[in-house]
Amino acid sequence: MENLIEKVALFIHESPKVVVFTGAGVSTESGIPDFRSPDGIWARYDPEDFTIQRFVSDREARKRNWRLRKEMFSADYRPNPAHYAIAELERIGKLSCVITQNIDGLHHVAGNSEEKIVELHGTVKNAKCLSCDDRLPLGEVLKRIDQGEEDPHCEKCGGLLKAATVSFGEAMPPAEMRRAEQCSRECDLFIVVGSSLVVYPAAGMPLVAKRSGARLVIINYTSTDMDAIADAVIHNKAGAVMEAILEKVKERAI
Which residue among the candidates 13, 108, 121, 153 is catalytic per the annotation? 121
Q: Give the 3-state secondary structure of the chain.
A: CHHHHHHHHHHHHHCCCEEEEECHHHHHHHCCCCCCCCCCHHHCCCHHHHEHHHHHHCHHHHHHHHHHHHHHHHCCCCCCHHHHHHHHHHHCCCEEEEEECCCCCHHHHHCCCHHHEEECCEEEEEEEECCCCCEEEHHHHHHHHHCCCCCCECCCCCCEEEEEECCECCCCCHHHHHHHHHHHHHCCEEEEECCCCCCCCHHHHHHHHHHCCCEEEEECCCCCCCHHHCCEEECCCHHHHHHHHHHHHHHHHC
* 121: annotated active-site residue: yes
Give me the active site residues, please: 121
